[in-house]
Structure 1
């Protein structure tokens, strides 16, 4: 089993290979496979990237992120400027139904609300605005309201899991209750856990995915 010290070193080594992050700005604490990230960065994208780096390390069971974003005076933006930039970014992305999404900005934090049909639309809305200058964080409260009735969801999801080359589907169980899906079982990394949830949201009629999959490290997957 990987020690906490090994996990910490693996995260540090991975951060070194990220040209957009200064690894010396990121504090890392690991306890029983649970990683806590801290520090101060000058760009929200760096905060998101540090979180992604930690999640893809084998042995990490969960990530608690406490990184603060502070922009220099030359890069600060007012909430009004951020809101206008966010609306423009949404309008220029063809994958996002901009007329169904509302933007609210307070102290550099963007709050998204509204209703969309597909999970990829919800995720795309967050993705296109999180790199805007002046943004400190994004809270995605967009609801998923499918426009089709649930039908054979369990079968759809199981087949989607099996098609994923980066996912060991045998350890995952799928339970469906109407338009809600519950995932259970064990995987070997947080990345696999996220891939399973992404696959579940591909089911036609799925409104909510409850991801109860546990990350269990296995030496054979080093």
Structure 2
């Protein structure tokens, strides 16, 4: 396939991930160990909050051609950031209520030893993601499980869903549409093929989710070495 990137060694990828972590102001790279095997990055060590754990993962995903990231970073909250579960639950609830993209009345919140679990149903994936983004920046959060389901109110015909997604992939400057295949199975979209980076893979999934009527996206796209 035209435009394929030159295969890079695990050592080269490791160096680039370490460099990307060093330029990411939201993390402390001296606390993070990086291992790479067959293009899969493993992050180990500890960070002071869940937001930094997520930022480190995103930094690794920006490096081409990282195929996947295993985030084994431990969150060790400093004593000043410790919050009890009722306090965290109240903060999560307030945050969701203040977020214009989140239908807070449709989301249930559970907190156990700093780990937040979100459940409920929303109509769009962007609402599900907005809830997660709002919570992961809160002080005291050690981890997050997003169990919110997407349940569209209306489901267009499969051909219409497919055409909308294909057109959006072609328009997007962040995806190589020629390397992506899709099929519609009811209200689910299945993505296959290969792309140049993990972020391009993620963008293809976001585009698929943006089509009306999509309740699930199975992303089997691989990242080229």
**TM-score, normalization by structure 2:** 0.95
Distance between the aligned counterparts of 1:216 and 1:14, measured in 2? 20
Match of 2:173 in 1: 165
Aligned residue pairs: how many?
217
What runs of 5+ residues in structure 1 fail to find an aligned partner? 218-222
SS at match of 1:175: strand
Residue in 1 that maps onto 2:119: 113
Q: Distance in 1 between matches of 2:135 and 2:40?
A: 28
Hey, what does 1:220 align to over in structure 2?
Answer: none
Moved runs in structure 1, 4+ residues, more than 6 A? none
Alpha-carbon distance, 1:74 to partner: 1.6
CA shift, 1:164, in A, is: 0.7
Deviation string, structure 1 residues 112-167 (Cα, Å, up to 9, x no partner): 00000000000000000101000011100000000012231110110111111111
2:186: which partner in 1?
A: 178
SS in 1 for 2:26: coil
- Partner secondary structure for residue 154 of structure 2: coil
After superposition, the CA RMSD in angstroms is: 0.7
Is residue 53 of structure 1 aligned with residue 53 of structure 2?
no
SS of match in other structure, 2:73: strand
Q: Secondary structure at the match of 1:142?
A: strand
Of residues 133, 140, 145 in structure 2, which corresponds to 1:134?
140
Q: Distance in 1 between matches of 2:106 and 2:212?
A: 20
CA distance in 1, matches of 2:188, 2:101: 24
Q: Alignment partner for residue 213 of structure 2, among 172, 183, 205?
A: 205
Unaligned runs of 5+ in 2: 1-6
* 3-state SS, counterpart of residue 141 of structure 1: strand
Structure 1 residue corresponding to 2:48, chosen from 11, 35, 42: 42
CA distance in 2, matches of 1:127, 1:75: 19
